[in-house]
Amino acid sequence: MTEGRVALVTGAGRGIGRAIAHRLSREGLRVALVARGDKELAETAEGCVGPALTVTADVTDQEQIEAAYALVERTWGPVEVLVAGAGAGHSARLDRTTDEDWQRMLDLNLTAPFRCIRRCVPAMRAAGWGRVVVVASTAARVGEPYIAAYTASKHGVLGLVRSAAAELATIGVTVNAVCPGYVDTPMTDLTVDTIAATTGRSPADARRLLERKQPIGRLIRPEEVADAVWFCVSSDAVTGQAINVDGGAVQ
């Protein structure tokens, strides 16, 4: 049912997005890889086993999103599977979170997925089939100190997913969120560096602190998040869900 379909993955240059792109490629999809870095996109494409199209774009720029979709459509046709994986974090005390910090989190983690979903829905509606998966976070489910802007953006994107799922369920389009905990990615490396810099802990101790936040006692592997994404893509009946991939941290 999914083999040969056209997928677009944002944030595909590294980490979770790269793992998702590779998984979709192994499952027989044609995968358009979207990210800002040419070199990282090329590395992701090398790991795909089937057709891969690299598209350099900043998803916070609406014109670049439109150009990315247009390129995919000219090359392969409409996007049938969207995985909105681009995202970033920010950590600061609430009173030290600037308007610029706040807006940056909303632009990347909430507005960009909204625009990507909005752009692909007409073709999915016309076809009577589509899959949308947003990579959210356990921060979409609970609040933690020092990540107010990030948490607000992720709570918002989960609301977007649920509303879109309710609207599109009758026409064969599913919309879900995957909510990872701390994953072994460059983004977590930055979190480790921030903890070490602000607390005086060693990087190794800071990493262990994050590992202990998850009952399984380790960081999640990107491939484990990709497995959850594939579950959403391959199911006809699962929609409007937020699937935690966090080693049991949020129950």
Q: Indicate if the pLDDT at residue 52 is higher than 90.
A: yes
> Which range marks the domain in which residue 207 is found?
182-219
Do 92 and 197 have their domain in common? no
The domain total for the chain is 2
CB of 36 within 8 A of CB of 68? no
Over the range 66-84, which residues count as b (16 or more CB within 10 Å of their CB) and which as e? eebbebbeeebebbbbbbb
Residue 197: pLDDT band with limits 50, 70, 90: confident
Instruction: Check whether residue 141 and residue 189 sit in a common domain.
Output: no
Task: Give the pLDDT confidence score for residue 33 in this predicted structure.
Answer: 98
Distance (Å, whole) CA 17 – CA 10: 7
Does 51 have pLDDT greater than 90? yes
Write the single-letter amino acid at 117: I
Do residues 107 and 214 share a domain?
no
CATH of the domain at 147: 3.40.50.720
Chain mean pLDDT for the chain: 96
Active site residues: 150
Which pLDDT tens digit goes with each residue over 95-136? 999 999 999 999 999 999 999 999 999 999 999 999 999 999
Q: Do 137 and 189 fall within a single domain?
A: no
Q: Is 63 exposed, middle or buried (0-12, 13-18, 19+ CB in 10 A)?
A: exposed
Instruction: Say whether both 126 and 141 belong to one domain.
Output: yes
For residue 234, the model assigns a pLDDT of 97
